[in-house]
Amino acid sequence: MKYRILGKTSLRVSEIGFGTWQLANDPGFWIGADPNESLKCLHKYRETGGNFIDTAWIYGFSEKNPDSHPSEELIGRFLKETNSRDEFVIATKIPPKNMKWPAWQGIPISAVFPNDHIEKCVNDSLKSLGVDSIDLVQFHVWQDEFANDDGWKETIKTITKDGKVKNWGISINDYQPTNCLKTLDTGLISTVQCIFNIFHQKPTEQLFKYVKDNNIGFIARVSLDEGGLSGGFTIDTVFQEGDFRGYYFTKNRLVELVSRIDKLKELLSDEVRTLAELSFRFILSFKEVSVVLSGMSKISHVEDNAGYSDGRLLSDDVVDKLKLHAWERNFYPDVDPAMKNTNYLEK
């Protein structure tokens, strides 16, 4: 496993990070995870040299059991059983109090991240993870207009001074990679987490220059486009009830996805044999990227993904060819009509 520096945090993180939403058996999103298998995956990840675990207060949350945070708790169990807290960089996220994803335009930060909510969620996560301090806490949604508010700024300064959180970040709204630049100018945010993959390449247009010039850590998420870039879907793929990909990849979208995947397969060779490898190596070929997250629920996934962190990057020629495969789309307003008024997809 190779390592990179996470921006101005100065933390040394493995190039492949462990995303943990899928571990939580989150109703309506990711289902079918086996806690014992998940623990085995975390053990295997440790064996490969992986050291960056990304979770969230909301992963697995249920109103029936509001004091439980399943993903964080499983990670806490792993850290305790292995006595390995000092080996890992742990990142989590604070959910919006109004539970709106993405952060809708025009809704004030007082309804999204009031000061007491920030403090409560940090304390909850500390307890769930079983740790004294969290390396990175990220706001799980964002609007750049929040930069004008002083409340959250003073709150995170106090929490940092108390030693509960070492660094702060933003998990940017899907497909809005520049909806954070004014906030980054405050100097209080050390990292951004953003969708970046072969299909969604907009971060390269403005955000990459900013993070490079200002030493901001960049965490790439949705590296395989919710599984679309794995090459495992066909036009006849049917998702389990409760798997959100059932409405993310509708029948018509599967048809277009498969067509695009077939074209990507033409770039495979003895050098890069699978679409997953092509996808990971594409992301890692950008020096602005600090770590690539992958949701791994099988040991074979951990082994394969860790293997892509070997220092071998794609040639400039292949990267240039992959730039032609960008596929910007905005599926979410079809799911929730209210999002049509949020300017959800950057133009």
Name the architecture of domain 3-335. Alpha-Beta Barrel (3.20)
Return the domain boundaries, the chain. Answer: 3-335
Q: Counting Cβ atoms within 10 Å, is residue 43 exposed (0-12), middle (13-18) or buried (19+)?
A: middle
Per-chain mean pLDDT for the chain: 92
330 has pLDDT over 80: no
- SS3 for 171-231 is ECCCCCCCCCHHHHCCCCCCEEEEECCCCCCHHHCCHHHHHHHHCCEEEEECCCHHHHHHC
- Banded model confidence at residue 270, pLDDT cuts 50, 70, 90: confident
Residue with tokens 């490898």: 277
Tell me: pLDDT of 297 over 90. no
Give residue 144's pLDDT band: very low, low, confident or very high (50, 70, 90): very high
pLDDT in tens, 56-106: 999 988 888 899 999 999 999 999 999 999 999 999 999 999 999 889 889
Among candidates 59, 255, 242, 252, which has minimal Cα distance to 138?
59
